[in-house]
């Protein structure tokens, strides 16, 4: 759409900071005010709007887009979002080790074991690993525990967790990244450990490299969203 404003800025109400365009509050797609709890995050959204040219490109405004997602999607659907994320614990990526290639197993251990240990010792929610094609059934009480843990996140942090889990395919990597146990690069490496190992051995094509680069950028953006939210 065409740019219809001269300058972005901030207002304030009881709920937090309002992102505004020429003094008028930005509204989400469902017509809710874009109210932000963090000054750093609100400033980043203002910078996104100010940085637009003659055309407003929402794809170039990831912080604003995540803000819209918080208000329009996550806040009114918390229980469903939590259930969706919790489901990843039943098929956790980091629990499925190779059973033949010792070099790959070593790489998996290097990337995955610290996160599995953190889940067991830090969260007190241990997940059981398996190897090869052998299935594993996680303890229902542990899976339920992940749901209870997620209930402790506010809507903004829950959105970041949902984004990170969806990108990595792992509840452990998503939680670990959002809570700063690991950084975006470690989450990227761990989520693609098998693929990266095979690419090193046999080579990779341009399409796969582009997809991996896009994933890394999305993870870094999600981490930045969390850092801004927490004023870091």
C-alpha–C-alpha distance, residues 182 and 64, integer Å:
25
Confidence check: pLDDT of 14 > 90: no
- How many domains does the chain contain in total? 2
Mean pLDDT of the chain: 97
For the chain, give the number of residues: 232
180 domain residue, yes or no: yes
Nearest to 120 by CA among 97, 151, 95: 95
Rounded (10°) angle between helices 206-229 and 171-178: 50
The answer on 219 and 107 residing in a single domain is: yes
Contact call for residues 58 and 44 (beta carbons, < 8 A): no
Burial string for 172-200 (b: 16+ CB within 10 Å, else e) reads: bbbbbbbbebbebebbbbbbbbeebbeee
Find the mean pLDDT for residues 13-42. 96
Per-residue pLDDT at 224: 98
Structure token pair of residue 206:
């341009």
Structure token pair of residue 30:
């469902």
The answer on 99 and 51 residing in a single domain is: no
The CATH number of residue 28's host domain is 3.30.2180.10
Confidence check: pLDDT of 134 > 90: no
Confidence check: pLDDT of 147 > 90: yes
- Partners of residue 24 on adjacent β-strands: 21
The answer on 190 and 116 residing in a single domain is: yes
User: Hey, is 13 helix, strand or coil?
Assistant: strand
114 domain residue, yes or no: yes
The answer on 55 and 81 residing in a single domain is: no
The answer on 197 and 83 residing in a single domain is: yes
What is the domain extent for residue 39? 8-60
Contact call for residues 41 and 65 (beta carbons, < 8 A): no
Per-residue pLDDT at 204: 86
Task: Tell me how far apart the terminal alpha carbons of the chain are, to the nearest angstrom.
Answer: 33
The percent of residues in the chain predicted with pLDDT above 90, rounded, is 94
30 domain residue, yes or no: yes
Find the mean pLDDT for residues 3-25. 96
- Residue 53, phi then psi, degrees to nearest 5: -90, -145
Interval 59-82: pLDDT, tens: 999 999 999 999 999 999 999 999
């Amino acid at each position: 759409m065409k740019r219809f404003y001269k300058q972005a800025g901030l207002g304030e109400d009881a709920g937090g900071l309002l992102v505004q365009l020429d003094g008028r509050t930005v509204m989400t797609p469902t017509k809710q005010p874009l109210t932000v709890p963090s000054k750093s995050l609100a400033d980043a959204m203002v910078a996104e709007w100010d940085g637009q040219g003659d055309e407003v490109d929402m794809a170039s405004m990831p912080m604003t887009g995540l803000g819209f997602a918080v208000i329009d999607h996550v806040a009114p659907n918390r229980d469903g979002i939590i259930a969706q994320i919790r489901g990843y614990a039943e098929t956790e990526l980091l629990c499925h080790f190779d059973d033949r290639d010792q070099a790959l197993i070593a790489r998996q251990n290097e990337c995955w074991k610290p996160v599995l240990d953190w889940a067991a010792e830090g969260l007190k929610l241990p997940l059981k690993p398996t190897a090869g094609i052998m299935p594993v059934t996680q303890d229902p009480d542990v899976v339920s525990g992940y749901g209870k843990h997620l209930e402790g996140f506010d809507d903004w942090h829950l959105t970041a967790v949902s984004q990170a889990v969806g990108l990595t395919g792992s509840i452990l990597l998503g939680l670990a990244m959002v809570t700063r146990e690991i950084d975006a690069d470690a989450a990227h490496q761990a989520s693609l450990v098998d693929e990266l190992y095979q690419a090193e051995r046999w080579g990779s094509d341009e399409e796969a490299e582009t997809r991996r680069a896009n994933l890394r950028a999305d993870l870094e953006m999600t981490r930045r969203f969390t850092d801004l939210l927490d004023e870091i």
